[in-house]
């Protein structure tokens, strides 16, 4: 199973942060990720576009600047956005990539972060 990430900065103000997150993810996990810069579309349309293409989504908003947290959602239907420290997220995904490529990444994250708060995407 190949993990495909798209990083969606919630506004142009977070474009630089999205590039930093992309670099950290790609240098740690060695997976490709994209940055969605279609700021002329609303955030929900951007999210829906990538979910329909089976991308796991990382949303960069005020949480990243305030506490180094990202919001993420997996491509599986019904997956909700959760909040997690970027490095903790990278560690879990890296562990998943190294150990068990056939398992469920969402389950892996939930097992390792029981207290992950739901994330407000707006």
Top-level class of domain 5-112: alpha beta
Instruction: Say which residues have a Cβ less than 8 Å from residue 14's Cβ, sequence separation at least 6.
Output: 60, 61, 64, 65
Rounded mean pLDDT, 74-98 = 83
Per residue in 6-65, pLDDT (tens digit) is 999 999 999 999 999 999 999 988 788 999 999 999 999 999 999 999 999 999 998 898
Q: Is the pLDDT of residue 108 over 70?
A: no
Among 27, 20, 113, which residue's Cα sits nearest to residue 64? 20
- Band (pLDDT 50/70/90 cuts) for residue 115 is very low
Q: What distances in angstroms separate CA 44 from CA 18, 27, 63, 85, 104, one per listed residue?
A: 17, 28, 18, 23, 25
The ranges assigned to domains in the chain are 5-112
Written as six digits, the tokens of 24 are 């950290």
User: How much is the pLDDT for 104?
Assistant: 56
């Amino acid at each position: 199973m190949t993990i495909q990430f798209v990083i969606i900065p919630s506004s142009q103000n977070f474009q630089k942060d999205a590039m930093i997150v992309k670099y950290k993810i790609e240098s740690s996990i060695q997976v490709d990720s994209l940055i969605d810069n279609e700021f002329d579309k609303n955030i929900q349309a951007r999210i829906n576009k990538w979910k329909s293409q089976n991308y796991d989504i990382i949303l960069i908003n005020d949480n990243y600047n305030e506490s180094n947290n990202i919001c993420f959602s997996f491509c599986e239907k019904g997956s909700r956005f959760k909040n997690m420290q970027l490095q903790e997220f990278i560690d879990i995904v890296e562990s998943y990539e190294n150990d068990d490529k056939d398992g469920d990444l969402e389950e892996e994250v939930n097992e390792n972060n029981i207290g992950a708060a739901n994330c407000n995407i707006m």
